[in-house]
Amino acid sequence: MRLPDFVRKNILILIIIILALPQGIFASEINSSTEIDLDYLASDDQMLDTFATTKTELESLLSRGALNSMSFKDVSGIQKNATEIIWDYAQKFSLNPRFITVLLQREQSLIEDPNPSSDQLNWAMGYAICDSCSKTDPLLQKFSGFANQIYYATKRIRESYLSDLESRGFTESGIGPGIEVVIDGVEIIPENFATSVLYTYTPHINGNQNFAKIWDRWFNNRHVDGSLLQDKTTGGIWLIQNGVRRPITSKAAFLSRFNQNNVIQVGPSILEIYEIGAPIQFPNYSLLRSPRGTVYLIVDDFRRGFKSQEAFRALGFSPDEITDVAWEDLDAYEEGEPIDTASVYPKGTLLQNNKTGGVFFVENGNKHPIMSKEILLANFPSSTITQVKPEDLNSYETVDPVLFQDGTLIAMRESPEIYVISNGTRHHIQDEATFKTFGWNWNQIIWTNERSILLHSLAEPIDTSIDTSSDVNIATR
């Protein structure tokens, strides 16, 4: 993606600051043939999660079209920009701002339209306009106008639809969870409040299919492997790995494995996309003893068993460090290579050639070159480096270089392109709107050299824009 002008102008300042410091599932492709569950169009969190986005992220989403540069009078007569109007009414009626933007896109294509008409703006949410209604009806004019549309639509959803669902289980249209209704000749049994609200608001199949498709294309793009997502409401941190979210249940485990700079703040509706996986509760290099008595060394996602007590003692480990655990605690780890008396640096160490200055990560008798200061600081921010003679380093086999951790944002100082690392590969982030949609911040980017970038092979780009050639037909009610 190309950086905004204000960021590009300050690249040199950012580089100076960064250099002065002491120092990941693939994004899903947009698929127009995504099958829609007509009984479950959206989750309740997706409708109600006011923490799902920030005002800055909302402004970035509106930059896909003309709305981010437009302002209107709100219902109180105060001039505000479009972002403020959407944000204020979302907060007032406790709705997810993203829910409102998808309705705006579905009803009038407003989020991505570069030149919307006055008619599109005046009836932005399609509110108060039924199949047989006329927009010139004098009784409807109080609802005309961009801010009026959002205010009255969100007010109706909160104070009528949701209030009815909470008090009696169905809306004014008789639609509610578990209640069978026929819409456009199709039998529908909504499974939750959100789906009931959507069918009450728009009693047509096509419009609601479009809502689900737009939401999926904008907001259901999964974070890459290695992403660290922090729930804004609880503070809990989750690792995204192999399509699931793994809770990190201790601060020690987090600090021993992950870079705090990579944490992304998200709302609950973002997290609910993922199934819950095995927890990460033990720090790296913990010693765990199984019920059978085998002692394991935990190294990232692997458990490495000691072949003998002699191997355990020879490598300098102490019985006082061992924690007794249940099998379910060990099931989260893959079986790794056993540790014997010949194992060299099973916990890994940093060695520096005292002649050339080259630094290597040495583990299990192999040395991994570290090709830049940025990779060293990102992966080993507080590790001790031991200087050794070249002949000592020559005793270890040279293998693949150390890469940036999954979930890391990287960019080259001479280029505006930004990438995120996943499974050792780099994915180009196509535009600023996509960058903001995923919750990244500019200060999370690691600026490095071309050599470090090219260590990671290029993979599929990440893009959340809607393909206008797809089968999503934007239609008003």
Q: Which residue blocks in 321-409 are alpha helix, DSSP H?
A: 327-330, 373-379, 390-393
pLDDT of res. 140: 85
E strand or H helix at 363, and its extent?
A: strand 359-363
pLDDT of res. 265: 93
pLDDT of res. 132: 67
Tokens of 301: 């996602």
Residues 139-178 have pLDDT tens digits of: 888 999 999 999 999 999 999 999 999 999 999 999 999 9
| Euclidean distance between CA atoms 468 and 113, whole angstroms | 11
* Helix and strand numbers, DSSP H then E, in the chain: 19, 23
- Range in 17-21, 102-106, 391-395 the model is least confident about: 17-21
Residues 325-367 have pLDDT tens digits of: 999 999 989 999 999 988 889 999 999 999 999 999 999 899 9
Contact 51, 232 (CB under 8 A): yes
Tokens of 281: 């509760």
pLDDT of res. 30: 30
Q: List, in order, residues 6 or more apart from 293 with CB less than 8 Å away.
A: none
DSSP characters for 181-237?
A: EEETTEEE---SHHHHHHHHH---HHHHHHHHHHHHHHH-PPPPTT-EEEETTT--E
Residues facing 360 on adjacent strands: 351, 369
Across 47-59, average pLDDT = 92
Tokens of 139: 């009784």
- What CA dihedral angle connects 98, 101, 105 and 108, to 10 degrees? 160
Q: Any idea where the domains of the chain sit in the sequence?
A: 1-28+406-477, 31-219, 228-276, 287-335, 349-398
Residues 181-199 have pLDDT tens digits of: 999 999 999 999 999 999 9
Average pLDDT over the chain, rounded to an integer: 89
Q: What is the pTM of this model?
A: 0.75
- For the cut 50, the answer to whether the pLDDT of residue 475 exceeds it is no
Tokens of 199: 């069918």
DSSP characters for 227-264?
A: -EEEETTT--EEEEETTEEEEB--HHHHHHH--GGGEE
Rg (CA), the chain: 27
* Portion of the chain with pLDDT greater than 90, in percent: 77
Q: List, in order, residues 6 or more apart from 358 with CB less than 8 Å away.
A: 352, 369, 370
